[in-house]
Amino acid sequence: MDRIAFLFAIACVFAGCSTDLDINAPYKNVTVVYGLLDQRDSVQYIKINKAYLGEGDALVYAQIADSNEWANGDITVARVHRVLNGNRIGTPFNLEPATFTDREPGVFYAPNQKLYKFVDDTPYDPIEQVRESLPVYLDQESSYELELVVKGETVSATTSIVDNFSIQGPDQSLNTVMNLKDGLGYQDWIFNWNAGHDGKRYEASYRFKYQEIRDGVVDDTMSITRAMGRVVSSNTSGTEEMQRTLEAEAFYSTIGSSIPVDPTVTNRRYCGIDLVISVANDEFHTYLSLTEPVSGIVQDRPTYTNIVNGVGLFGSRYTREVITKRLGGSSLAELVNGQYTGALLFCSSFPQDQGGSVSCP
């Protein structure tokens, strides 16, 4: 073996063998698509880029717009079709370029970036629109198909639309208070809702809102948002009952550790708690699951894409909020005088809470 290696080395000297290793494959057009449709928006945005390859530092190329964006004329077809029972319905939505100018600096080029948008301002669900006083766009009964032709190659993807869903009665009502503390101690509170059609992954969170008062001057409303946990539906038919628990003592502890004691603050005005549920459809859930940090021994996971002749994600999402629920009397007293938050000088901004130790000046 030593003799063979020696002879090979001599041969390379006289034959001019190269020891350079070219790690770059021949260039290939690769379209990268990311788009999340949302029933709550009449304007939908989709990001369409290209993969790049070159000698040197890839992070340097990332800062160059021409490395990432297709040139004018490269994309000859860009539209979205509404599909019902396998058939395209009505006139397709043409994707129009839109330039965003306020992107913060990061790995990729900034502050300008090109996206593509289409507008569907038809309210498809008038019952929900009346009940919630909020319009609902996109047709949940349909799927939406992306069609691109990029440098002569067809790129496509299809997604379902996450539908609206209902919060169970008492939790939806703004008149029902949250009781996290009573004479027996801390009491965890359960948030209940019903799954919606084509919703797969539900992430619940709360948003605690407050204002700081300094010498009679009230600052802008601030908030603390924390996750309450995730529920994954066993199906997407919209038949499941779901719930997450707000752990009472952890709630007060979080507020106490998140807001520093400030001697310049004369009072902090408690302004309510928003409950938020963010929903992903099946495609988006799969993508999120495969891109989460790995905690086990096996580090390799497949790359997920539902883009035909491209890479990326075309999915849908939905967000539902219950805005400004109040704390019950004992729960509010715990916020004002309790072991975790008593030093923060909280009072209440709600007229029905006024009186005694919870009144704001």
Any domain includes 37: yes
Token duo for residue 34? 């990311």
Tell me, yes or no, whether 71 lies in a domain.
yes
Q: What is the pLDDT of residue 108?
A: 87
In a domain, 309, yes or no: no
Q: Identify whether residues 153 and 192 lie together within a single domain.
A: no
> What are the pLDDT tens digits along the chain (361 aa)?
454 443 344 344 444 555 554 555 667 889 999 999 999 899 999 999 999 877 778 888 788 888 899 998 999 999 999 999 999 999 999 999 999 888 888 888 889 899 999 999 888 765 554 445 567 789 888 999 999 999 999 999 999 999 888 888 788 787 788 999 998 999 999 999 999 899 999 999 999 999 999 988 999 999 999 999 999 999 888 889 999 999 999 999 999 999 999 999 999 999 999 999 999 999 999 999 998 877 767 667 778 999 999 999 999 999 988 888 889 989 999 999 999 999 999 998 887 776 556 778 7
Please tell me the total count of domains within the chain.
2
This prediction's pTM: 0.85
Residue with tokens 């593509």: 116
3-state class (DSSP) for residue 272: strand
Structure tokens at 254: 């979080």
**Which of the 8 DSSP states describes residue 178?**
B
Residues 188, 94, single domain; the answer is no
Burial per residue of 213-246, b for 16 or more beta-carbon CB atoms within 10 angstroms, e otherwise: beeeeeeeeeeeeeebeebebeebebebebebeb
Would you say residue 91 lies in a domain?
Answer: yes
Q: Which of 161, 181, 207 is the last residue before a domain boundary?
A: 161
State how far the Cα of 162 lies from the Cα of 255, in Å rounded to an integer: 32
Q: Which two tokens stand for residue 270?
A: 């408690």
Which of 110, 134, 161 finishes a domain?
161
Pair (78, 218) in one structural domain: no
Instruction: Tell me: do 115 and 71 sit in the same domain.
Output: yes
Mark which of 99, 133, 161 sits at the end of a domain.
Answer: 161
At a CB cut-off of 8 Å and minimum separation 6, what does 354 contact?
Answer: 348, 360
- Whether 262 and 185 share a structural domain: yes
Can you give the residue range of the structural domain that contains 195? 169-279+321-358
Q: Are 165 and 320 in contact (CB under 8 A)?
A: yes
The answer as to whether 224 is a domain residue is yes
Instruction: Please tell me whether residues 243 and 105 are part of one structural domain.
Output: no
What is the reported pLDDT for 8?
40
Structure confidence by residue, pLDDT tens digits, 38-75 = 998 999 999 999 998 777 788 887 888 888 999 989 99
H/E stretch holding 296 reads none
What does R_g of the chain's alpha carbons equal in angstroms? 27
Contact between 178 and 326 under an 8 Å Cβ cutoff? The reply is yes
Residues 218 and 108 in one domain: no
Encoded tokens for 25: 């494959």
Task: Please tell me the predicted confidence (pLDDT) of residue 335.
Answer: 95
